[in-house]
Amino acid sequence: MTRKEKVNILMVDDQPAKLLSYEVILGELGENLVKASSGKEALELLLKNDFAVVLMDVSMPDLDGFEMADIIHQHPRFQKTAIIFISGVHLTDLDRIKGYQRGAVDYISVPVVPELLRAKVSVFAELHRKSSQLEILNRELRRLSVSLIATQDEERRRIARELHDGLGQDLTVVKIMLQGVFREEQSAESREQAIGDVLRLIDGSLQQIRSVSYLLHPPLLDEIGLRSALGWYLDGLSKRGGIEITMGMQPPDFPRLASELETTLFRVIQEALTNVFRHSRATKAFVTLEKREGEIAATVRDDGVGIPDEIAEFRDGSIGVGIGGMRQRIKELGGELFLRNTRPGTIVEVVIPINSASADLQAVPAAYPSQKVTVKGSSAGVGPT
């Protein structure tokens, strides 16, 4: 995470002077410090908030530290909460064992050494922060896994429909027409016309196979590279959707990249433009791809209605499988995904680090040789159907 999330630290002691001293010592950590002057008050705060560390006096009038630790760790929410006891009296080994059995993770004796207290609290606060981040990532991963399965099933159904309704129907007609060609009563002229119709249907079927195959994985991506594959895809999307798409490359002779990196960039740009086509109500889109020192940056910008702030901020539960999948692909390569509202429009930016092994510095022999290519809805070319 780019910004350190603060965690809550609960300080429990019946003496206000001690609480003030703990607050001064731990203030340098930059965490949220919460004070409680009794065990009862501490329990009320625990029920309302999530705490990374509980710093607690062993000797308190209403509930001593051992009793309170026992109550805390009986609750499922607090079983992993770190408890550090502070004691002004000498504790025997039996006392320490008693504390550990009730969930204590450490002891500090009075007089308190500020550096020692800060160090111990800092360690447990950081462990809690990392654990919380891991829990969020695992939850997001589970959600994405479920969404991915649903998306795969939907994609299979879509391909099955296309094959059945398009290719399947055409091949059925071809079969019927071929059966008629060999009938004796057919005249030479009718037979010749039927053969011509069959050839046209076969050409159409081949075109459908190419379109489905190209959308699943464009051969140009492997054969010539990202630049030409993107040019082909933008041609087809613009022709189908009537959106004016401008593509810019820097440097103009954009180099080949590692296969995994090219595939990731293509899929991310494809997903971003699909969202533009489906949701943005945009009339123009701009795609830029730039090789910088040590990184590749890709940007998709449109002039549409924008996106909600919760999606731009990647809040839990707000992003769908498309954006979640893009983000995961990029993370696997050590990169970052950024979403910004420009009012009007949206910017999707991807930055992925590269090293010398990630890029072949040979220029791409491109079907789209200029630095900037404007693809309009009337442009020719084979594209998605």
Give me the count of residues in the chain: 385
Answer for the pair 374, 246: CB distance below 8 angstroms, yes or no.
yes
For residue 247, count other CB atoms closer than 10 A to its CB.
22
pLDDT at position 135, please?
81
Q: Strands 346-353, 295-302: parallel, antiparallel or unpaired by DSSP?
A: antiparallel
- What integer pLDDT is reported at residue 104 of this predicted model? 57
- With 0-12 CB in 10 A as exposed, 13-18 as middle and 19+ as buried, what is 267? middle
Task: For residue range 235-271, list pLDDT tens digits in order.
Answer: 877 877 778 898 998 888 888 888 888 888 988 898 8
Interatomic CA distance for residues 281 and 264, integer angstroms: 26
Give the per-residue pLDDT at 214: 62
- Determine the Cα–Cα distance for residues 208 and 194; give it in Å rounded to an integer: 21
Domain boundaries, the chain: 8-112, 137-213, 219-375
Distance CA(354)–CA(255), nearest Å, equals 13
How far apart, in whole angstroms, are the C-alpha atoms of residue 281 and residue 302? 9
The first and second tokens of residue 70, run together, are: 């026992």
- Domain 219-375 fold is Heat Shock Protein 90 (3.30.565)
Query: With 0-12 CB in 10 A as exposed, 13-18 as middle and 19+ as buried, what is 129?
Result: middle
Sign of CA pseudo-dihedral 289, 295, 301, 307: positive
Residue 87, SS3?
strand
> With DSSP H G I counted as helix, E B as strand and the rest as coil, what are the percentages for the chain, rounded to 5?
50, 20, 30
Reading the block at residue 346, the tokens are 């949206």
The pLDDT of residue 101 = 58
- How confident is the model at residue 367, as a pLDDT? 40
What CATH superfamily is the domain 8-112? Response regulator (3.40.50.2300)
Low-confidence ranges of the chain (pLDDT < 50): 1-2, 356-385
Nearest to 211 by CA among 259, 246, 163, 266: 163
Output the pLDDT for position 98: 60
* Fold match flag (8-112 vs 219-375): no
